[in-house]
Amino acid sequence: MKRSKVIYWIATLWLSLGMVATGLVQLLRLPQEGQVSPPGTYGIVHLGMPVYILGLIGVWKMLGVAAVLAPGLALVKEWAYAGFSF
């Protein structure tokens, strides 16, 4: 049982680290968010979406990480994992 908990926490922390890193990039609206776009522009604009969506997605990612790392809250964690997968 202990081995499975260690594997769970390693995977959870790895996912959380990735979500925090990309969430910060989106919150700060760094041009690197859209690497296929010309320098100085945002890749999300090429998808036909406004730039302010980056801030919303960044906030949602941070809230999802908080939900995943919080004890209990099984239903909220389930929705956070679903949101990460979408």
DSSP letters of 19-64?
A: HHHHHHHHHHT-GGGGTTSPTTS-HHHHTT--THHHHHHHHHHHHH
Residue 64 has pLDDT above 80, yes or no: yes
Domain ranges within the chain, ordered by starting residue: 2-85
**Predicted pLDDT of residue 25:** 85
What would the pLDDT profile of 50-63 be if each residue is shown by its tens digit? 878 888 999 999 99
What would the pLDDT profile of 15-56 be if each residue is shown by its tens digit? 999 999 989 988 887 665 555 555 556 677 777 888 788 889
**Predicted pLDDT of residue 80:** 94
